[in-house]
Amino acid sequence: MFAAVVGDPPAPDGVGLASLAVGLRAHLAAAAALTPGERLLMNELLGRLSEPTEAE
């Protein structure tokens, strides 16, 4: 249990940053804790992260 808390998070199997950003962006409207401005900023940033890169 201790190793799970202080260790490195497990690497997602075959899931890249772009696909994670797309998934989060799809649920952004449901984030009641964010103001409209924060949602707009997150949408912009997640949009940038969702673009495929050469590294992925």
**pLDDT per residue over 10-47, tens digit each?**
665 667 889 999 999 999 999 999 999 999 999 999 99
How high is the pLDDT of residue 7? 73
Whether 2 is in a domain gets the answer: no
> Is residue 4 assigned to a domain?
no
- Residue 1 is assigned to a structural domain of this protein: no
Q: What is the DSSP letter of 28?
A: G
Whether 32 is in a domain gets the answer yes
Give residue 41's domain range.
Answer: 15-56
- 18 and 52 in contact (C-beta within 8 Å)? yes
Q: How many CB atoms lie within 10 A of CB 52?
A: 10
Given this model, what pLDDT does residue 15 score?
73
- What is the residue-wise DSSP string for 3-19? HHHHSPPPPPSS--HHH
So what's the pLDDT on residue 26? 94
Q: Does residue 52 register a pLDDT over 90?
A: no
User: In angstroms, rounded to a whole number, what is the distance separating the alpha carbons of residues 43 and 21?
Assistant: 10
What total number of domains does the chain contain? 1
Tell me, what's the pLDDT at 9?
67
pLDDT at 10: 62
